[in-house]
Amino acid sequence: MDLRQLAALVAVAEQGSFSAAADSLRTVQSNVSNHVARLEKELGVQLVDRQSGSLTEEGQAVVDRARRINGELDALVADVNALRHEVVGTVRLGMIGTIARWLAPSLLAGLAERHPKVHLIAHEGTTVTLDPQLANGRLDLAIVHLPFPGYDLTSRRLFDEDVVMVVHPEHPLASREPLELSDLEDLPLLLPAPGTPFREEIDQAASKAGVVLTAKAELEGLRLIASLTFDGHGPSILPATAVPDRVARDWKRIPVSGLPRRQVGVAARRRALPSAPARAALSVLDDIIVAAVGTLPGLHPPSGS
């Protein structure tokens, strides 16, 4: 087994065919086919279905490990460069959408100033979608809603965030502050999809208060919910920073008694050593969070810290 064989299999997985994989690797299709065939012979299993071009179950298992190996090789080069007092390389960071909106610009600026040779690749998603990408090595770090359910992953809390009711100033509830959860009963709400961490926390709080919330729609992604609220499709329960400053003056963010603060943290693979670019990004990230807690409404240091 060698690295060229693993690279060929990963390329087939990412490009969807042997010919496209060859193009991405700047080689000929026969080389890719030979590398994959030799890897299959060594492992004694079929890794790619030749009819569909898709991975077999065994192939997916190998690709997941191969991505981690490639990430470790990139980290090795970056760590050696960092020992020469220069952090060079790529960090792949996943971010939940409501955080990415205000964090990504500051992170780009901070890295450009302090570590100009670190290349940031940012992926926006939900906690549920970022989990497997972090686990299989597509991401180095992920900023997620805690608690993070991922297997073989570890996380550290960054901050806590108020959860508020977002309504138009002319809504009947807009003049009442704070609200009780019971005030929201029978009110059609745009709610997160069932099974997401944020929805589970809302449902647990409502159940504790003996309240049944009514969903006008259930949606994946808090940025989508916020956008629909701002377009007039109905009130919603959102983290405080989901309301951008440019629209905050046109909408009411009303505290709701009984709703817990959202906990946000950064997650990584438990058994992976963060690369020098990842450590650089974490250092810049921590400084940004310290500043944001003092300036963005609704953000707080982690409780107990």
pLDDT tens-digit profile, the chain (305 residues): 788 888 888 888 888 888 888 888 888 888 888 888 888 888 888 888 888 878 888 888 888 888 878 777 777 777 776 666 678 889 999 999 889 989 999 999 999 999 999 999 999 998 888 988 888 888 999 999 998 766 678 899 999 999 999 998 888 888 887 899 999 998 999 999 998 889 999 999 999 999 999 999 999 889 899 999 999 999 999 999 888 877 777 888 899 999 999 999 999 988 777 888 899 999 999 999 999 998 888 999 997 65
pLDDT, residue 73, reads: 77
Phi, psi of 227 (to 5 degrees): -60, -45
- pLDDT of 206 reads 94
Identical topology for domains 87-159+263-298 and 163-260: yes
Q: What is the pLDDT of residue 159?
A: 95
pLDDT value of residue 140: 92
How many Cα atoms sit within 13 Å of 221 on the Cβ side? 12
pLDDT in the model for residue 59? 87
What fold, for 87-159+263-298? D-Maltodextrin-Binding Protein; domain 2 (3.40.190)
| CA quadruple 152, 156, 160, 161: dihedral sign | negative
Domain 163-260 has CATH 3.40.190.290: yes
For the chain, what are the domain ranges? 3-63, 87-159+263-298, 163-260
pLDDT (0 to 100) of residue 244:
80
**Quick one: pLDDT at residue 150?**
65
Domain 3-63 class in CATH: mainly alpha
Torsion of CA 205, 286, 107, 100, to 10 degrees: -10
pLDDT tens string 141-160: 999 999 876 667 889 999 99
Phi-psi region of 138 (alpha: psi -120 to 50; beta: other; left: phi over 0): alpha
Give yes or no for a contact between 160 and 303, defined as CB atoms under 8 angstroms apart: yes
pLDDT of residue 156: 92
Q: Are 85 and 270 in contact (CB under 8 A)?
A: no
Dihedral sign of CA atoms 114, 133, 200, 246 in order: positive
pLDDT (tens digit, 9 = 90+) per residue, 233-274?
Answer: 999 999 998 888 777 778 888 999 999 999 999 999 887 778
pLDDT at residue number 190: 96
Q: Report pLDDT for 83.
A: 65
